[in-house]
Copies of this chain bind each other. A is one copy, B any other.
Amino acid sequence: MEKFDVHILGCGSAKPTQRHNPSAQLVNLREKLYLIDCGEGTQLQFQRARQSFSRLNHIFLSHLHGDHLFGLIGLLSTLSLSGRTSPMHLYAHAPLEGLLRPWLDFFCTGIHFEVVFHPLPEGNESQLVFADRSVQVWSIPLRHRVPSCGFLFRETPLLPHIRRDMIDFLQIPYYAINGIKQGEGWTTPEGRHYAHEELVIPADPPRSYAYCSDTSYLPANAPLLSGVDLLYHEATFGEDLAARAAETCHSTARQAALLAKEAGVKRLLIGHYSSRYSDEQCLLNEARQVFPDTLLANEGMTLQV
């Protein structure tokens, strides 16, 4: 199966602690890297995950709060010092460009690559933010104190595998293979027709990963998240602090689990823990009461989607 991994680089919240770095995750999909959020220290966490900066061309920022982006200027500066020439695409809310440009101009004077700003949508509709041959990235509308959106990574369906035994048996010529992969059948010179399905083994079903942080509990997102393989959802507080969660536009562990259950996702990963917790087991227990397939995010963790 093609690689589709999520590396947790940071899963703390606004106040950094000795236990957790601020938000950052790295998605590795077929050996291309996609960074989600970029809190202070992300470049070191990236190195610790033993990933190569050269495979990273796209950075997605959920919202413009410092704990999700204060590591960006350091990362871009290091890439500049490393002699990078490929463009870096930033998907973020519009004000970022006006904030970051003066810093890039001042601190990255020898920069040899373009930083391309792509403003994120701010509406209540999920929109296609980015697509390449491997993945589509859709925005997930979130509700926070500033415009915020999550990201839904949908793997592009792979073409089916050709059945080598049938190709050999029927002596199908090479030029016809691509058409069969795309859905065609094959008719022998004698006029016998073989359907597409007889000639291929279906590809693995496309996988999906959803990142939701920071946000109030938004059950309206359940249809959009329906059936995703892995959902990361913030769980800044426990249910005993539900009022504080509502006030600060965050979610409780229970609310994250409720959404996972309503959406029928396969697995739930919680994170963005308030610095008040010296042990997040209470958050895990609370979520598992509603949605048993819940995991606690932790720095250094890698999950296969």
- Which A residues contact B (CB, under 8 angstroms)? 14-18, 40-41, 43-44, 47-48, 64-67, 70-71, 73-74, 77-78, 81-82, 95, 98-99, 102-103, 106-108
Contact = CB atoms under 8 A, between A and B. Distances in A.
Contact of A102 (B18, B74, B102): B102
Contacts of A81: 14-15
B106 A18 contact: no
A81 to B, nearest CB: 6
Interface-central residue, A17, A106, A108, by most chain B CB under 10 Å: A106
Given A99-B103, A102-B102, A43 B65 contact: no
Nearest to A47: B18
Copy tally for this chain in the complex stands at 2
B106 A16 contact: no
14 contacts: A14-B77, A14-B81, A15-B82, A16-B44, A16-B47, A18-B47, A40-B74, A67-B77, A70-B73, A70-B74, A95-B106, A98-B102, A99-B102, A102-B102
A98 to B, nearest CB: 8
B70 A66 contact: no
Contacts of A65: 107
A260 to B, nearest CB: 29
B16 A78 contact: yes
A64 B77 CA distance: 13
Interface-central residue, A14, A47, A78, by most chain B CB under 10 Å: A78
Contacts of A103: 99
Given A77-B66, A107-B65, A40 B71 contact: yes
Contacts of A64: 106-107
Contacts of A44: 16, 18, 41
Contacts of A98: 102
Given A16-B44, A41-B44, A98-B102, 6 more contacts: A41-B41, A64-B106, A66-B77, A66-B107, A70-B77, A99-B103
